[in-house]
Structure 1
Amino acid sequence: MSLLNDVSGTAALTICESLLLALNDRKILPETEIVGILEDAAAAHANVPDTDPKSDLHAAVVILINNILAGGNSVRRR
Structure 2
Amino acid sequence: MSTASKHAGLAALSICEALLLAMNDRGLLPEHEIVGVLRDAAATHENAVGTKIEMEQHQAVAELINAIIAGGNSVRRR
1:19 alignment partner, SS class: helix
Alignment coverage as a number of residue pairs: 76
Give the letter aligned to residue 75 of structure 2.
V
- Say if 2:24 is the partner of 1:19: no
Deviation at 1:47, TM superposition (A): 1.0
What is the percentage of aligned positions where both structures have the same residue? 61
Runs of 4+ deviating beyond 3 Å: none
Q: Distance in 2 between matches of 1:10 and 1:29?
A: 23
Q: Distance in 2 between matches of 1:47 and 1:74?
A: 23
Give the letter aligned to residue 68 of structure 1.
I
List runs of 5+ in structure 2 lacking aligned partners: none
Q: Distance in 2 between matches of 1:4 and 1:56?
A: 20
1:76 alignment partner, SS class: coil
- Say if 2:62 is the partner of 1:73: no
TM-score by length of 1: 0.94
Partner of 1:40: 40
List runs of 5+ in structure 1 lacking aligned partners: none
CA RMSD of aligned residues (A): 0.7
Give the letter aligned to residue 16 of structure 1.
C
